[in-house]
Amino acid sequence: MADRAPQLNRLARALFIALVGVAHAPIVLAQDAGAAEDPEAGTLDKIVVTAQKREEALQDVPVVVTALSGQMLNDAGVRDVKDLQTLVPGLTVTSTQSEALTTARIRGIGTVGDNAGLESSVGIVIDGVYRPRNGVGFGDLGELDRIEVLKGPQGTLFGKNTSAGVINVVTKRPTYQQTAEAELTVGNYGALGASGSYSQGIGDIAAFRIFGAKRKRDGFMDVVTGSGPRFDREDYDQNYHTVRAQFLLEPTDTLDILFTYDESDRDENCCTGATIIRGPTAAILDALTPTPGDTGVATVADPFARRAWSNRSTAQAIGDKGGSLQIDWDTGWFSNATLTSITAQRQWDSVNGLDFDFSTADLLFRNPEKSDNYSKFDTFSQEIRLAGSTDKLDWLVGLFYADESLQRNEAYRIGAAYEPYLSIALLSRINPLLATSPTAPLFLSQASGRPFGTVFAGHAASDQYQQDSKTFAVFTNNTWRVTDAFDLTFGLRYTRESKELESRYSNPNGGLGCNAMRTNPAQVVAALVARGLTVAQASAAAPQVVGFACLPWTNNLHNGRVTQQDRDEKEWSGTIKAAYRFNEHVMGYFSAARGYKAGGFNLDRVQSNTGLSSGTSGIIPVNDTSFGGEFVDSYELGAKTTWLGGNLLLNATLFHQEYSDFQLNSFLGTSFVVRSIPKVTSQGLDAELLWKTGGWMVQSGLTYADTKYGDDLLPDTDLALLPGSRASFAPKWSLTGSVGYEWELGSNLEARATIGAKYMSDYNTGSDLDPEKEQDAYTLVNARFVLGRQDGRWDVELWGQNLTNAEYMQVAFDAPLQTGTWNAFLGAPRTYGVTMRVRY
């Protein structure tokens, strides 16, 4: 910490100098600009957010908030949470084995996906309802009123597991005025989409809105399928539909009841990995593909040729549905306090196929069936808040309850090439001179004493997990107006969380190869001696052979296991904020917050050593797969300033966050394991500029985040690069900017043009920080041009995303079972098209 203190002090002094200068200058600048001629004109300082669970002006909230209006989101082509990252500095959103495994990170802090037992560090809230995992925000969000991205721990008001921030999505509500809209989109990669909405009042006390969309697109990854059985030759395609219906009832002036139901389904192929480094074991895969002339993987690593090798299906089916009932009642109690109740029931499930070896050699796979790769969440939540105001105090108290049931099925099936591949690769690992020809890969059958082809055949693993979680919390958030210029905010939350997990493990094929070698080590030694090793050498190498034969999915020590685990956590979190308004144009603030993210269980087979070189002592199943809670202490010093009569907003915040017991999920080539990292520190600067003048609209944001792991030495060798290093997915610099201009064409037409970009400096995409997983700096550029009638009856929109066709990786990873080979899930290429809208 001491070596970074001078840097933080310099940033603090810079912010203080800017704050003092702003405090004395804005009135002159506003008068010079003559910006306040029309007091009725809409200005940026009127932007309303609900960052503190009440409607407040953005510039009055002592929180780092990126507020994005529906128009801004539309001009940027935002349909889902992943699209959102181009507008928000410091936000990254990535997907890995499936679009269901989408992970959001803020300021370099987030939870790596691919493990259903891990909850998010960045919470997603849609219309007041907390969603259990980031992946549920990947569907079409529909008609958006606004999105607010809150940075830093927000657990006091936004519920559990928001230690890094919150993405708060607010959709459009029903209107009493009859409105209708239809949209048709056509683009490259065969993109075709249609959506429509209708809203109307029912008398004077009710209204409804319904929205529906259907979107399809070809994949942007070509797939070599070899001898199959996969037949889809494209990946990363799109095929989904979504529906949202809302009914609003306002029987009195003091009562507002809103019922919402939404449902979405995706039926697509995702996700293959592209080879970024071809290792020595790739030649073995090439030799084991059954199709003459075919190679198992790319002969030359050229990932952005966008060509992948996969003989097994990556089909995915994701369903998300649920309803909520929100009641807002101006009670007349306590100076007309408002009682808010939000009741929600949601169900989310996912089925996903996986070619585990990412090649056309048939090694290891999961079928896209519920018995093989299935996750399902059933969640009930209830939040009740009572909020009121007096001349001196804005107060809020509330209760939150959630009941989540998680079902997870995970299975592995072994193909014909698994045994010969492992035989050759294993002998090469022990001694390159022992390696056999692909035409005679009999070593593991000799070591096990079983006939060739039966050592690992068939359905290797089939595991079921059932996790039940219950969360109860009581919270309060209160702002005391000490003077007309000085406010103090105090927030506190007490959370009790209990989880129970039942895990059932089985090996349908009996794990016979592992069992034979484990129970008859003499046979293993004899096979090695027959290959030319001395008895001493063979005895030393035999445990490694057993370790390879008993990798988690083939280890019969798991067969028939049933484990029960439970954990109970009781934690406090909260915040203190002090805000001082120097004048009507400048507010400075300081905040301190304590954030908390619950612990949980690793939903995977865990062995005492899950690496590829595990010996006989490393194949012992581990019953305790739990990991503890994650905590953060956060401090912010910021300023929010308003210029030019409310049409220029300039905000900046210094932040310092210290995470303890940070939950790091790592893939070790065979299994996912969760380790608690003692310390992660993230500190830096967030800044934002919004400027509106005439037909121009300018938005710019900057995040400088120095996010590093602590210096503590870690016991696991695969984490040796972490101490003192920059965290994965943590670019130091993240900048966004967009410029838009709107003008009239004659008496009936208008046009609007927008161009936006996001720059990310280099960062590592691997939890182990392997240098092969480094992503160089890159910039994404999007643009739109809209021509339409001034009354909004119709418009035509030309758009392009990633116009410069920037090449970047979402996540790079060790190719499973393949020494020296790395793969990556790639970011999307350039897309473009035209959208036509009509409105009534």
- Supply 70's token pair: 């529906």
pLDDT at 438: 72
- Domain membership of residue 447 (yes or no) is no
| 672 touches 665 (CB < 8 A) | yes
| 501 touches 601 (CB < 8 A) | yes
pLDDT at 338: 96
Name residues whose C-beta falls within 8 Å of residue 494's C-beta, 6 or more positions apart in sequence: 473, 474, 475, 570, 571, 572
Instruction: Tell me the Cα Rg of the chain.
Output: 28
Q: What counts of helices (H) and strands (E) characterise the chain?
A: 11, 44
Q: Distances from the Cα of 435 to the Cαs of 146, 196, 424, 542, 671, in angstroms?
A: 61, 62, 6, 16, 26
- Domain membership of residue 99 (yes or no) is yes
Q: What are phi and psi for residue 38, nearest 5 degrees?
A: -110, 100
Mean pLDDT of each 10-residue bin along the chain, 840 residues long: 45 41 35 34 75 85 90 85 89 82 87 74 90 67 90 82 87 95 97 96 96 96 95 94 96 96 94 95 92 88 96 94 96 92 95 95 95 93 96 95 95 95 91 75 91 92 96 95 96 95 96 93 93 92 92 95 96 95 96 92 84 64 92 96 94 96 81 86 96 93 96 84 94 96 94 96 94 97 96 95 96 91 96 96
Kindly report the CATH number assigned to the domain that includes residue 590: 2.40.170.20
| 82 touches 138 (CB < 8 A) | yes
- Domain membership of residue 428 (yes or no) is no
- Domain membership of residue 234 (yes or no) is yes
- Supply 574's token pair: 């909260």
- Domain membership of residue 523 (yes or no) is no
pLDDT at 134: 65
The dihedral formed by the CA atoms of 226, 230, 236 and 240, expressed in degrees to the nearest 10: 160
- Supply 650's token pair: 């300039």
- Name the one residue in this structure whose structure tokens are 């097994």: 312
Domain count of the fold of the chain: 1
Q: Are strands 600-601 and 586-597 parallel, antiparallel or unpaired?
A: unpaired
- Domain membership of residue 696 (yes or no) is yes
Domain that holds residue 743: 2-415+457-511+555-804+813-839
| 830 touches 808 (CB < 8 A) | no
Q: Which of 716, 729, 630 is nearest to 678 (CA)?
A: 630
From CA 398, how far away is CA 654, in angstroms rounded? 30
From CA 15, how far away is CA 284, in angstroms rounded? 58
pLDDT at 33: 32
- Domain membership of residue 730 (yes or no) is yes
- Supply 403's token pair: 């009941």
pLDDT at 386: 97
- Domain membership of residue 710 (yes or no) is yes
Q: Distances from the Cα of 649 to the Cαs of 292, 416, 470, 652, 686, in angstroms?
A: 64, 63, 42, 10, 14
- Count of residues making up the chain: 840
